[in-house]
Structures are given as structure tokens and as C-alpha cells.
Amino acid sequence: MGSLFLTFVGLSFVILINHSIQGAPPGEQKSILPSCSLCNLVVRGIFQSFEIGLTDEDIVDNIALTCISRSLYDEEICRGVASAAIPTVRYIYNNSLVDPGNVCGILMQEANCTFSDREKLEWSIAPSSIAKPDVVQLTLPSAEMPTIKVLHLADPHWDPEYMEGSNANCGNPLCCRASSGPITQSEDSAGYWGDYRKCDLPWRTLENSVEQMSKHHLDSAYIIWTGDLVPHDIWSTSREENMLIHERLLNLVKRFFPDTPIYPTLGNHDAHPVNTFALPEITDQELGTGWLYQDAERLWTKFGLPSEASSTIRHGGYYTALVQPGLRIVSLNTNYCYTFNWWTLSSAKDPASLLSWLTKTLEAAETAKEKVHIIAHIPPGNGDCWTIYCREFDKIINRFESTVAAQFYGHTHNEEFKIFYDEANDTRPINVAYIAGSLTSFTNLSPSYRVYTIDGQRPDSSWSVLDFSTWTMNLTEANEKGPMHLPEWFELYQAKKEYALADLSPKTIDEFFSRMLNDDALFQLYFKNYYKATDNFVSEGCDEECRKKILCRLVTNMSNNSNSNVKYDE
């Protein structure tokens, strides 16, 4: 075999590996693949290496060599990421589950990229056979009506190997570990409570955060937990360690909230290999995701989910549970829309039957006059959620706008809203997704969590979100004070008060969006909170391009229309 060809194959994989190492950086919309033609070249190189009979070991060796010669990452990282990913890519290729000419269109979310056969990727779910009820104007409850408090934990990313004093400024995807290499200057040393650089949180900070939550919010009716418990060491994760992290964190929350129900979801980092959620049809022990769903089912029911949730968790990592008479939680596994999940590249229609099940579940809730809160990790409409999936999800929200009282997500690590609009009249806002900032500081973000006030307790409550507040702490300050002082948590903002909102209804959030277009001071406030007031970001300021990016994120309904939003251009 020509060495030139092997170099080509090696480079192709390295670009792909780099793409998956970078992931979709929190808050970013775009894939790091620079162009469609390069992407197609990469895909060709990878598939040719399978065709000519290279083994997984050959390919991993080749990737390691290329990684070293290009001084991209340590050999261990390239080998780790490659050997975890290649069996899945090979399986999808080998079983003709993917059209090579369609891959880049998905990876790049159609931006400038063509498909060899886009029709093959198309699917839609059957619309509900029950006619949509008339939309009744939402009336918010009067002040004396009872409310409940709900705690939202997003993206803790606990790093069991976090080490104070280790190198926080390393070249790896995750630093602040004994293995992060030598320190050349004292500023590179990892802090005691965590670090704003490429580091996840140490146990002590997570423990402190949950203790702090219990001090102030023990009266929460329940906790929603939107996934990503595992650290960003994507080259060295394992099934066993991921599940151990899962169990230890659930135990931690249970220790401080013994009587509070927890409603969890799975994040893209909770799988091993990272992002890899196989279709339920894949029963192969090595490639399948059954191990994760079975263990999630075991832990989640042990920590309080009703046993009716079991069968769908085991099937596809999703479930529904009645919280109180009148309120139902629907927990989705949106990792099936993630463009970094290799299985999204296969031509699967409605992966794990998730959206058909969602339709049926919402029909039953509507009939029973229940309201629904949707929780999941990746927000549909985000740049890394596949467009066709988002479109089908939007249709369901349109049909069930009167039943879905609110949606809650994590994954972006930022503090955000996303507004959903009427398909038939795109000036009419119909629903709001609340996206909570991460507990982890990865990267350059202060740790945070949220508390919602929700109209609740009566079976006929609207169960709409009336307000929320975000709590945070300053890692620089905590590290300066050192181990003898506990970090000081404080309320960063209350949504209604901060933005002078009458309520948090879709209509008011849409008006808030419109106000920000013309009121820069208001936008700067949103921008500050988007980054949780973390110095590095806030002091950099937000130029016109940044402003457009952050504002568009509020209103994009399909991942690929972020730059063509008519409203912003007005």
C-alpha cells in the first residue's frame, strides 16, 4: 500500500477524531469541519480504509502516527478516541446503514453541503389522529394561588481525577488531572475548588453545591436533572466508570434531599464511547447501548421513578411519570438527534420510536387533562440537533401547545431561552424552552443551578413557569480564600425582575426578544447572564456578530436556519 494513501487515510481519521474531540463546543452552533469538500474527502478516506481491508488496529496505529507527526494531541488521546469510535463507524458502514454521500450534509447541517440522496434521509411521524383543540388564551394565576419550587441541575460533569495543583493549562481536551503534564509557571496550577480553564469539577465542589441547594431549596417539590454527569475525558471513559459516576452523584443528591423525587435524563457524555447512542435494534453487546439503558433503569427506579417508566428506559432511555395529579413529566433522549452521535448518520427513521411515542404520550395526557413538562439534554433547534428531527419535534409542539406547559434542557452550558412559534403564523409564540447553565465550570463559566417557581399543586393548575432564579459562585474568589472557607453561593438574577418581565409566558418572552433587538442595555444584561457573569467572557464584550449569534439562538426552530432568521434582519 502506498504510504501516500495511508497518510491520506490517517489524516482523514484525524480530522474526524478532532471533530469529535472538539464536539460542539458549548454554546457553539457549527461543526468544526471547515468545508463540505474537505468533509467529503475525509469520509471517502475513512470508507476506503475499510474497503481495502485495514483492521481497526491498523487504523488506530495510523491515526496515532498522524497525530504525533502533526503534534495534535498526545498519542494516548488519539488512540483512546479512535479505538472507541471506529468499531461503530465500521459497523454502520459495513451494514450499509449510511450513504457516504449523505454524511457531510448531516455533519454540517446542510450548510453549503449537498446530499447524494437526501430523500433517503427523510422521515416524518404520523400526525395525531385527534384534532387539535382550540387554543385557549393562557391566564396566569393570581398571586395567592399556590406555587411549587423546582430545582434544575444541568451538566455537573464530575471529574473523579481532578487534582488541585495539577496543570490547568495543558494541551488535552480536559486538564487539571495528575496526567495533565508538568507545570511550567505557577499560574497554570489548578485551583482547589475548580478552575475556569479546560477542567471539570472536583467532588468537593459538587458536594458543596448540593449542600448549598439543600440549605436554601429543601422545599423543592422535585428535582429535574438534565444529564452530562461524566467528565470531558472522552479518550478514557469506560462503561464501569460512567455508571459509577452516575450512582455516586445520585447518592449525593439523595443524601441532601432524602424525600425529594428526582427526574433524570441522559446526556451525550453519559454514554461510552461519548455521544454513541445506538438504535435499540442493535442488540450486539459491544456496540449496543443496552448496558446504559439497563443501568439507568436500575438506578432511576431505585431513586424513585415509578416502575411504569422501566420499559421505555430499557428500550431507548426515555420515560414518562406523573408527578402530581395534573402534572406529567416526559423525559426524552434527544441524544438521538445529536449530529455527533454516529447513529444519527444512519438513515434511521424516528430513532427508538421516540417521537411517535411522544405523540401518543401527549395524546393520553391531553385526554386526561394533564399538563406536561418536557425535559431532555439537547434542546431541539440547537445547531447540533439534526434538522429533520427538529422539524418533526416542532410539529408535535405545535399540535400539543396547550398540553406542553414548558420544556427544560441543559447541554449548552449557558443560560438561555428558546421560543417556539406557530407553524401557520410564525409571529405567534406558542412555547418556551428553559435552558439552564452548567454546574461544571467547563469552560470559563461559573458553576450554577436554577430554581423555578411554578404554578402548581391544584390538579387544574396551569403548571406554567412563573419565574426562575439562577444561583452561582465565583471560583476565583473561592480559590483565593482556599480550603478553609466554603465557596459563597449567591443568587445571580431572578428572570422577571432582571429583565422587567410581567410573566414568563411565550408571548412575554417573545416581546423580551424583540425588545433586546433595539435595547442594547437589555441585551448586555442577557449576555452577562448567558455567561453567568464570568469575567473572561463579559469583559471581552459582545460585538455585532456575537450579538446576532446569541439572539438568533432564542428563535431558531431548525438547526440550519440560524443565520437566515427574518425577525433579526428586520
Ligand X SMILES: *[C@@H]1O[C@H](CO)[C@@H](O)[C@H](O)[C@H]1NC(C)=O
- Site residues for Zn ion, 352-411, by CB under 5 A, read 411
Length of the chain: 570
- Residue 219 or 426 having the CB closest to ligand X: 426
What is the CA 329 to chain-centroid distance, rounded?
Answer: 18
**Considering the rule CB under 6 A, would residue 477 count as an interface residue with ligand X?**
yes
Instruction: Give the residue, chosen from 334, 387, 441, 443, that forms a contact with ligand X under the rule CB under 6 A.
Output: 387
Applying CB under 6 A, what is the total number of residues that bind ligand X?
29
Of 229-237, 254-262, 460-468, 469-477: span binding ligand X (CB under 6 A): 469-477
- The string of DSSP letters for 110-138 reads TTT---S-GGGG---PPPPSSPPPPPPPP
180 by Cβ neighbours in 10 Å (0-12 / 13-18 / 19+) ranks as buried
Instruction: Give the residue, chosen from 426, 488, 519, 520, that forms a contact with ligand X under the rule CB under 6 A.
Output: 426
Instruction: Give the residue, chosen from 22, 457, 476, 494, that forms a contact with ligand X under the rule CB under 6 A.
Output: 476
- Residue 149 or 377 having the CB closest to Zn ion: 377
**Secondary structure of 428-489 in the HEC alphabet?**
CEEEEEEECCCCCCCCCCCCEEEEEEEECCCCCCCCCEEEEEEEEECHHHHHHHCCCCCCCE
Beta 262-264 vs 327-331: how paired, if at all?
unpaired
Q: How far is the CB of 485 from Zn ion (least distance, A)?
A: 28
Q: How far is the CB of 115 from ligand X (least distance, A)?
A: 10
**Considering the rule CB under 6 A, would residue 58 count as an interface residue with ligand X?**
no
**Binding partner of residue 515 among Zn ion, ligand X, none, CB cut-off 5 to 8 Å per kind:** none
Residue found under cell 425588545: 515
**Considering the rule CB under 6 A, would residue 510 count as an interface residue with ligand X?**
no
**Considering the rule CB under 6 A, would residue 391 count as an interface residue with ligand X?**
yes
- Record the cell numbers describing residue 275, joined without a space: 455521544
Q: How far is the CB of 269 from Zn ion (least distance, A)?
A: 6
**Considering the rule CB under 5 A, would residue 415 count as an interface residue with Zn ion?**
no
One symbol per residue from 526 to 545: x for binding ligand X (CB under 6 A), - otherwise; what is it?
-------x-x----------
Alpha carbon distance 265, 279 (integer Å): 17
335 by Cβ neighbours in 10 Å (0-12 / 13-18 / 19+) ranks as buried
**Considering the rule CB under 6 A, would residue 339 count as an interface residue with ligand X?**
no
Query: Where does 356-398 show beta strands of DSSP type E?
Result: 371-375
Instruction: Give the residue, chosen from 188, 228, 350, 370, that forms a contact with Zn ion under the rule CB under 5 A.
Output: 228
Q: Coil, strand or helix: which one is 170? A: coil
Beta 404-409 vs 222-225: how paired, if at all?
unpaired
Structure letter (DSSP) for residue 373: E
Q: Could you give the angle at the alpha carbon of 522 between the alpha carbons of 521 and 524, nearest 5°?
A: 65
- Record the cell numbers describing residue 186, joined without a space: 505557577
**Considering the rule CB under 6 A, would residue 564 count as an interface residue with ligand X?**
yes
- Residue 329 or 542 having the CB closest to ligand X: 542
Q: How far is the CB of 129 from ligand X (least distance, A)?
A: 20
Reference 233, options 299, 163, 291; nearest CA is 163
- Residue 4 or 484 having the CB closest to ligand X: 484
**Considering the rule CB under 5 A, would residue 159 count as an interface residue with Zn ion?**
no
Q: Residues with Cβ < 8 Å from 330, sequence gap 6 or more?
A: 318, 319, 320, 358, 361, 362, 372, 373, 374, 375
**Binding partner of residue 455 among Zn ion, ligand X, none, CB cut-off 5 to 8 Å per kind:** none
Residue found under cell 467572557: 537
**Considering the rule CB under 5 A, would residue 90 count as an interface residue with Zn ion?**
no
Q: Is 268 annotated as a binding residue?
A: yes
Q: Are 148 and 454 in contact (CB under 8 A)?
A: yes
- Residue 319 or 471 having the CB closest to ligand X: 471
**Binding partner of residue 474 among ligand X, Zn ion, none, CB cut-off 5 to 8 Å per kind:** ligand X
Of 219-227, 274-282, 350-358, 386-394: span binding ligand X (CB under 6 A): 386-394
Q: Which residues are annotated as a binding site?
A: 155, 157, 228, 268, 377, 411, 413
The site for ligand X (CB under 6 A) is made up of 90-91, 94, 110-112, 387-388, 391, 394, 421, 423, 425-428, 474, 476-477, 480, 533, 535, 557-558, 560-561, 564-566
Give the annotated binding-site residues for Zn(2+).
155, 157, 228, 268, 377, 411, 413
